[in-house]
Every structure is written in structure tokens, then in C-alpha cells.
């Protein structure tokens, strides 16, 4: 049994927005309780972020709004270029690749074939003017699938998997409910059989019965497809149920990382203690 079985390794990732000044580092970060430098206005979204995901693992990311969670996800999705650092990706039996070094075309093909993303707001993940079939086809075409019949068959298969009525393949997203749209997003994200699924607050704003259904789907994907997932959520209950390891972010920094039950029951950092004690 090998323990060296990682799929994604993020090393020393940095991202800031703004001009920067010599005082930035002294004035920002979790100890100062802010990400934005009061002198020059630079926002430090991710500072020296290191994470490793084992193949098949679900890693939770928790933290308040503005802690840098979504920026991190966008960089891993290759939609945002980091200032520095590496994002190593390794499919089983293949050499590791640094995704930061891919050019625009390579990045687009890679993203569409190897990574899926699901957002809190469906309109970010879906093209609202395309039908459901069109949305899934878009992802597959960008992943360089070419055969129309196969694309159509794959879409139907995904709709069944995500408990969507396949006869609605040609309907537009606007005619679906919120919970259904999350499942359409999941279907689209899974279309090209990605190695990595990025989930950005996907159950926030859903009513509880719909939320339970989406979580149940994720759990099935976790068991049946063994897809590696990065789960951003501010709902600690969701993280407890799905992620075995969790990192805690605050003001662009990882302040604590560990086994999920340890983070929730024996949090070490003052911020994590506050977060856990504030949960219902």
C-alpha cells in the first residue's frame, strides 16, 4: 500500500491584486485580521498556499468570505494565473505536470478534459442560453470530443446519474429549479470524466431537502467514481460528512490543516476555535 499517491500538489502559491508596497506583508494576514494593505490597497488573496490532494480524496476548505478560498479554486481551475508557485497534477501512472506552465490553449484543453467545477450560482457554471444538452456538449467539445452521437449518449447517461429526467435534454436551464440546476452543473462538470472536481459552496442557498439530495449525489460520486474533490464550504456539517481532511483559510493564509474531525473537535488556531464555536 503506497502513501505517495497524490493527484494534485499546490506549492507556495501566491496571488495578489494591486500595486504592492514594502509594508504589505507586515500589515496584512491573519494576525492583522485583514487581506487588504491599508497603505497601498493591495489585496493579498493567497499567500504561500501549500496543499496536497491524494487520489480519490475529498479535501475540505473552510474560512470566512474573503479568505481566499475561491481565488485558490480559480487558480487550480486555471482560470486565474498565480503570481508565483506551482500546481502539480499527476494522473495515475503518468508523470507530474506543472499546470502553471501550460500555455492558454493547453490550459483550456486540460481544464475541460481533466477538471470539473461547480459554483454556488448556476449562471457561473452554465451557459443559460444553451439547453442542458448544449451545456454538456460545450464541455465535451472543448475537451476535444468530436462524435455527436457519443456526446448525446454521454449527456443522457449523466442526466440519469444526476437524477435529471433525460427527456428534458433539450430544455433550457431557466426552466429548471435551483436544486436541479446544481445537478445540471454537476453533470456538466463530470462530463469528460475529470480527475478533479472543484466544488465552490454548492449547497449554499438551497433549501434543506434539495441540499440533502445534492449531498447524496456527491457521496455517490465519491464512492462510485472515486473522483478527487476540493470542497469549499462554510457549512461545517457538510465538510464533516464529506471531507476526511480539511484546511482552514483566513486572510489569504492557511492557518490550520488536519483531519476533519480533529479540526472540528480539537481546533488549535484561535480563528478555527471561533469558527467551530460559532457553528450551529
Interface with another protein by CB under 8 A: which residues? 1, 3, 54, 208, 212-213, 215-216, 219, 223, 240-241, 244-245, 258-259, 261-262, 265-266, 268-270, 273-274, 277
d(CA 99, CA 90): 10
Between residues 62 and 78, which has the closer beta carbon with respect to another protein? 62
| Number of CB atoms found within 10 A of residue 240's CB | 17
Tell me the closest approach of the beta carbon of residue 117 to another protein, in angstroms: 22
Q: Smallest distance, Å, CB 138 to another protein?
A: 30
- Closest approach of Cβ 238 to another protein, in Å? 9
Q: What is the CA radius of gyration of the chain?
A: 19
| Coil, strand or helix at 80 | coil
Pick between residue 188 and residue 245 the one whose CB is nearest to another protein: 245
Q: Which three cell numbers stand for residue 206?
A: 438551497
Nearer to another protein, 79 or 259 (CB): 259
Q: How far is CA 56 from CA 50, 172, 249, 258, in A?
A: 19, 33, 22, 17
Strands (E), the chain: 6-17, 43-54, 58-62, 84-89, 97-98, 115-118, 196-200, 228-232, 245-250, 253-259
Would you say 4 or 170 has its CB closer to another protein?
A: 4
Q: Closest approach of Cβ 55 to another protein, in Å?
A: 11
Residue 262 Cβ vs another protein, minimum distance, rounded to whole Å: 6
- We find the least distance from the C-beta atom of residue 244 to another protein, in angstroms, to be 6
Cell numbers placing 247: 484546511
Question: Which residue, 3 or 174, has its beta carbon nearer to another protein?
Answer: 3
Contact partners, residue 235, CB within 8 Å, separation at least 6? 203, 204
In the bound state with another protein, the residue whose beta carbon lies nearer, of 38 and 205, is 205
In a 3-state reduction of DSSP, which class is residue 228?
A: strand
Amino acid at each position: 500500500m503506497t502513501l505517495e499517491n497524490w493527484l494534485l500538489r499546490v506549492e507556495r502559491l501566491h496571488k495578489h491584486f494591486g500595486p504592492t508596497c514594502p509594508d504589505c506583508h507586515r500589515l496584512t494576514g491573519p494576525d492583522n485580521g485583514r487581506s487588504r494593505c491599508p497603505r497601498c490597497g493591495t489585496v493579498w488573496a493567497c499567500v504561500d498556499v501549500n496543499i496536497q490532494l491524494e487520489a480519490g480524496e475529498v479535501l475540505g476548505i473552510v474560512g470566512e468570505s474573503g479568505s481566499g478560498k475561491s481565488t485558490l479554486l480559480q487558480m487550480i481551475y486555471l482560470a486565474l494565473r498565480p503570481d508565483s508557485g506551482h500546481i502539480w497534477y499527476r494522473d495515475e501512472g503518468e508523470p507530474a505536470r506543472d499546470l502553471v506552465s501550460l500555455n492558454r490553449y493547453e490550459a483550456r484543453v486540460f481544464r475541460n478534459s481533466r477538471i470539473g467545477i461547480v459554483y454556488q450560482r448556476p449562471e457561473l457554471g452554465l451557459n443559460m442560453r444553451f439547453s442542458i444538452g448544449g451545456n454538456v456538449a460545450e464541455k465535451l467539445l472543448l475537451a476535444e470530443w468530436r462524435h455527436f452521437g457519443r456526446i448525446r449518449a454521454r449527456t443522457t447517461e449523466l442526466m440519469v446519474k444526476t437524477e435529471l429526467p433525460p427527456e428534458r435534454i433539450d430544455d433550457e436551464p431557466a426552466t429548471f429549479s435551483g436544486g436541479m440546476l446544481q445537478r445540471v452543473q454537476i453533470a456538466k462538470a463530470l462530463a469528460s470524466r475529470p480527475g478533479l472536481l472543484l466544488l465552490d459552496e454548492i449547497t449554499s442557498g438551497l433549501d434543506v431537502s434539495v441540499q440533502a439530495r445534492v449531498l447524496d449525489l456527491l457521496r455517490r460520486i465519491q464512492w462510485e467514481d472515486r473522483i478527487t474533490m476540493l470542497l469549499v464550504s462554510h457549512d461545517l456539517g457538510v465538510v464533516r460528512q464529506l471531507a476526511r481532511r480539511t484546511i482552514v483559510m483566513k486572510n489569504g493564509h492557511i492557518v490550520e490543516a488536519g483531519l476533519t474531525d480533529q479540526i472540528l473537535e480539537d481546533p488549535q488556531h484561535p480563528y478555527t476555535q471561533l469558527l467551530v464555536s460559532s457553528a450551529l
